[in-house]
Amino acid sequence: MTKFLSRVSGMAAALALLFMLAAVSPSIAQQPTPVNPTASSVKEQQLLQELNRVEGRISIPDTKEGVLIQPAGRGWRFFHEVVLRWIGAIALIGMLALLAIFYLVRGAVKIAGGRSGRTILRFDVLERAVHWMTAVSFIILALSGLNITFGKPLILPLVGPEAFTSLSIAFKYAHNYLSFPFTLGVIFMLFLWLKDNIPNELDVKWLKQGGGIVGDKHPPARRFNAGQKGVFWIVVLGGSIMAISGYILMFPFYGTNIAGMQWAQIFHGVVAVLFIAAIFAHIYIGTLGMEGAFEAMGSGEVDVNWAKEHHKLWVEEMGGKSTLTPKSRMTPAE
């Protein structure tokens, strides 16, 4: 009984205290607590302004999921959907147009002295094999890559979604796997042709005279003239950028994050379309644009007169150690 009484009196005292408090400050009892927990809390807008992303801790094993918001994807989207398409269209169509105009105005570069009927070995079997391995890989890589950027507006409406997906999946695998022979080819090219591609004073002269392409004079050149050296360095440097950025994209999150992959894709895309445009010019001058040029990578043997006109110093250097093959030995007399 006394226990009960003391409990009741205790409760009464507590109640009385509450009423007193309520009387002193009625606002506290009626309104929410004046402590604002968000005053000290993290704020999305502030975090986004500071870092352009919101990141925290996550309890699942996939720690990269700790990035909560990263609006940078919107910038990358603009690049991929708008900027890259413009750069690509201008570079590729522009280059094709330039080459077409050049062909119509200048025409093919002929062998001024006509064919001699005698040939000289310009690229041996290894060099040609490396060239064509790289070239075939490059063409398929280029087509499958362009499909990712231009396929949606150009091919998808023609073939329909299912067929376009089948094509794109095949292209994706081709793109991934052919990157290896391509990269290997670029490395081989570097070792095969580096010694002949160091820029020197002859290249300055060659460039000043427009390489004999614009005018009719053929400035002297050793094994490779300045234009060919340019192609070599475009392939080696462009190919390296393509390979590095490509492998970053192929191996997601190995030493990079989303922002890194966005940048890798930007480099990959821009360098790719410029690279393809440059290779258009290379293909043009190696086939349509110059008489006697294709044989260098075809049979490997070029006409001696062609060689003398374009690579005078090289022919002189080779004169001693190379056997000049009479063409008549391989093809019957006309």
Partner 1 sequence: MARMKFLCDADRCIECNACVTACKNEHEVPWGINRRRVVTINDGKPGERSVSMACMHCTDAPCQAVCPVNCFYTTADGVVLHSKDLCIGCGYCFYACPFGAPQYPRVGNFGSRGKMDKCTYCAGGPEADGTAAEYEKYGANRLAAGKLPLCAEMCSTKSLLAGDGEIIAQIYKERVMKRGYGSGAWGWQTAYRETIAV
Return residues touching partner 1 (CB under 8 A).
31-33, 36-45, 47-48, 54-60, 62, 64-74, 76-77, 80-81, 147-149, 151-152, 156, 161-162, 164-165, 168-169, 172, 176, 249-254, 258, 261-262, 265
Instruction: Select 149 or 225, whichever has its Cβ closest to partner 1.
Output: 149
Nearer to partner 1, 36 or 323 (CB): 36
Between 18 and 169, name the residue whose CB sits nearer to partner 1.
169
CA distance 110 to 306: 9
Of residues 207 and 249, the one with the C-beta less far from partner 1? 249
Q: How far is the CB of 249 from partner 1 (least distance, A)?
A: 7
Write down the least CB distance from residue 141 to partner 1, Å: 15
Q: How far is the CB of 35 from partner 1 (least distance, A)?
A: 9
C-beta closer to partner 1: residue 43 or 205: 43
- CA 77/CA 19 separation, integer angstroms: 62
CB of 115 closer than 8 Å to CB of 305: yes
Q: What angle do CA 160, 164, 166 make, to 5 degrees?
A: 130
Which CB, 15 or 69, lies closer to partner 1?
A: 69
Instruction: Tell me the closest approach of the beta carbon of residue 319 to partner 1, in angstroms.
Output: 50
Show the tokens assigned to 102: 């050049």
Instruction: Compute the least distance from the CB of residue 250 to partner 1, in Å.
Output: 5
At position 242, the amino acid (one-letter code) is M
Closer of 28 and 194 to partner 1 (Cβ): 28
The DSSP result for 229-287, as a single string, is HHHHHIIIIIHHHHHHHHHHHHSTTSS--HHHHHHHHHHHHHHHHHHHHHHHHHHHHHT
**Nearest-approach distance from CB 176 to partner 1, in angstroms:** 7
| Shortest distance, position 47 Cβ to partner 1, whole Å | 7
Residue written as token pair 């009625």: 26
Amino acid (one-letter) located at 215: G
Please provide the distance, in angstroms rounded to a whole number, between the alpha carbons at the two ends of the chain. 135
User: By CB neighbour count within 10 A (0-12 exposed, 13-18 middle, 19+ buried), where does 33 fall?
Assistant: exposed
Judge whether 327 and 304 are in contact, CB under 8 Å.
Answer: no
